[in-house]
Amino acid sequence: MTGPADDFANVDFSLSVAKAGQLRAAAKEGLIERHPAFSIIDFDALEKTVARLRDAFPAHFLHAFAIKANQYPAVLETLASLGLGGEAAAPGELELAVRAGFDATRMVLDSPVKTADEIARALRLGIVINIDNFQEFEQIRGRGDLRQTGARIGFRINPQVGAGTVGLSSTATLTSKFGVGLRDPGNRARLVDTYLEHEWLNALHVHVGSVGCPLELMAQGVSAVVALATEINGRADCRKIRTIDIGGGLPVSFVSDADTPEFADYARLLEARVPELFTGEFDVITEFGRAIVAKSAFTVARVEYTKTMGGRHIALTHAGAHNMMRIVFQPAVWARRVTALNAKGEVKSGTPVEQDIAGPCCFAGDVIAHRRGLPLLERGDLVMVHDTGAYCFSNHFYYNALSPDPVYACRRSDAGDRYRFSRISAADFRT
């Protein structure tokens, strides 16, 4: 185990009042004793996050949750009931959105490689379709007369404004696989002409990227697409572009419980940089995912064994790549806080000792924290991995035929330290 130390030297590993109370309740319910590893989603916290999102933007903004971030039906059904839309990036996600009860008029299809059947289903449902490229445009145009459908259909634009600090999550580079490059020779003129020639094209989409993309870069990409919409509307001498989808990508801080940046921070920046979005001239869609669900959940795993290897302390746990694939394979980007707990779920005290937190998968790299300074873990202790609500449960890695760990919905039952737990099921589209 030769991974570099995770940079969490000055991070507060204490627990919030809510997390501490949920752990106590989980211990009373027998969850700690029953499961080698399990996760808890705080649905009260999730609802508060949605409320902050809706308060940050005007009413004409539709917030379509990026289903890829968390595909659990109970989560999707809750978000649909709160008035959010759903953004699907694959046929299975589209089916999940339909089953969860999202209104078709509040759904978006963003699949990068849409099949003819997928396009036909989306047109039947009447959902927003973001076209990835000109060949896909020809597929849709060949479906017949689309003028009377009332559908919102338009191109995904790559504004080619550059990358953030994480290349793999930056989607607005010069050579990104997504969308139509706005700066590539001839594309802007071709896009304008295509919109003017086809009455049913009435929307535009942009998504600059995710974690590692600063808000200024995101706003720059949105501004470029709003300028394109304004140009098309000016040439058409009418409100031809009615809908602008500005994507998601709001970063999340993994070093504390704070929501940084906040939705309101992004909204203020957008209003300053792209005021046209706030006048009601356009219907605006967002596609936030991680920022909605990441901080609503945490994962607890048992320390099954400990040992020392080459002078390094190693805790062998049930938290690994099967449920935290991104954390294991890209620790420099996706590392999370880990809190050391005793067997009762109480925070351990003691002098921090460098140790690796290793998982159950049978490959040497299955380590969720490298040389992390924590009170020395012992057999029977627990580790809590914070902020696992996004891209952990929906990104299961079936290596070694390890099953997904149990996930529990949690709600506060009264003003005291009491919580209700109910196990929720994952969606599984494997064939």
CATH number, domain with residue 21: 2.40.37.10
> Based on the domain organization, do 222 and 314 belong to the same domain?
no
Task: For the chain, give the mean pLDDT.
Answer: 93
Q: Using a CB cutoff of 8 Å and minimum separation of 24, what contacts does 332-336 make?
A: 332/4, 333/166, 333/168, 333/169, 333/211, 333/212, 334/211, 334/254, 335/6, 335/7, 335/8, 335/254, 335/369, 336/254, 336/368, 336/369, 336/385, 336/386, 336/387, 336/388
Q: Could you read off the pLDDT of 48-75 as tens digits, one per residue? A: 999 999 999 999 999 999 999 999 999 9
Half-sphere exposure of 293 (CA within 13 A, CB side): 30
Give the model's pLDDT for residue 1.
Answer: 44
Residue 11 lies in a domain: no
Query: Is 165's pLDDT higher than 90?
Result: no
Name the pLDDT band for 166 (thresholds 50, 70, 90).
confident
pLDDT digits (tens, 9 = 90+) for 168-193: 778 889 999 999 999 999 999 999 99
User: Do 206 and 247 meet the contact criterion of CB atoms below 8 Å apart?
Assistant: yes
Phi-psi region of 270 (alpha: psi -120 to 50; beta: other; left: phi over 0): alpha
Give per-residue pLDDT as tens, 357-370.
999 999 999 999 99
Any domain includes 9: no
Which one, of 87, 59, 80, 79, lies nearest residue 286 by Cα?
87
Same domain, 347 and 268: no
For residues 69 and 37, state if they share a domain: no
Residue 415 pLDDT greater than 70, yes or no: no
**280-308 tens-digit pLDDT:** 999 999 999 999 999 999 999 999 999 99
Alpha-carbon gap, residue 370 to 349, rounded angstroms: 20
Please indicate, yes or no, if residue 148 is contained in any of the structural domains: yes
Regarding whether 267 and 306 lie in a shared domain, the answer is no
Domain boundary among 268, 292, 316: 292
Give yes or no: residues 288 and 374 share one domain.
no
**Is the domain of 246 the same as that of 129?**
yes
Dihedrals phi, psi of 45, to nearest 5 degrees:
-65, -40
| Strand 338-341 relative to strand 382-386, pairing | antiparallel
In a domain, 2, yes or no: no
- Mark whether 141 and 171 lie in a shared domain: yes
189 and 89 part of one domain: yes
Last residue of a domain, one of 292, 315, 335: 292
The predicted model scores a pTM of 0.94
Residue 3 has pLDDT above 70, yes or no: no
Quickly tell me which residue has 């351990």 as its tokens: 348
Residue 340 lies in a domain: yes
Residue 12 belongs to a domain: no
Residue the block writes with tokens 């963003």: 110
Q: Is the dihedral of CA 311, 313, 316, 320 positive or negative?
A: negative
Residue that the structure tokens 């808890």 belong to: 40
Please tell me whether residues 187 and 150 are part of one structural domain.
yes
Helices (DSSP H) in 238-285: which residue ranges? Answer: 263-273
Residues 205 and 349 placed together within one structural domain of the fold: no
Domain boundary among 292, 322, 352: 292
Is 65 in contact with 107 (CB distance < 8 Å)? no
Domain with 238, as residue range(s), is 46-292
Residue 372 within any structural domain of the chain:
yes
Position of tokens 């009377």? Answer: 148
Look up the CATH number of the domain holding residue 283. Answer: 3.20.20.10
> Exposed e or buried b for every residue in 358-384, given b needs 16+ CB within 10 A?
bbbbeeeebbbbbbbbbbbbeeebbbb
Q: Please give the pLDDT value at position 148.
A: 65
Cis peptide before 4 (omega within 30 of 0): no
* Claim to verify: residue 33 and residue 157 sit in the same structural domain: no
* b/e burial code for range 275-292 (CB count within 10 A of at least 16 → b): ebbbeebbbbbbbbbbbb
Tell me what pLDDT residue 8 has.
Answer: 81
Q: What is the pLDDT of residue 13?
A: 73
Distance CA 330, CA 212 (A): 13
Asked whether residue 131 falls in the same domain as residue 94, the answer is yes
Please check the confidence at residue 12 and state whether its pLDDT lies above 90. no
What is the tally of structural domains in the chain? 2
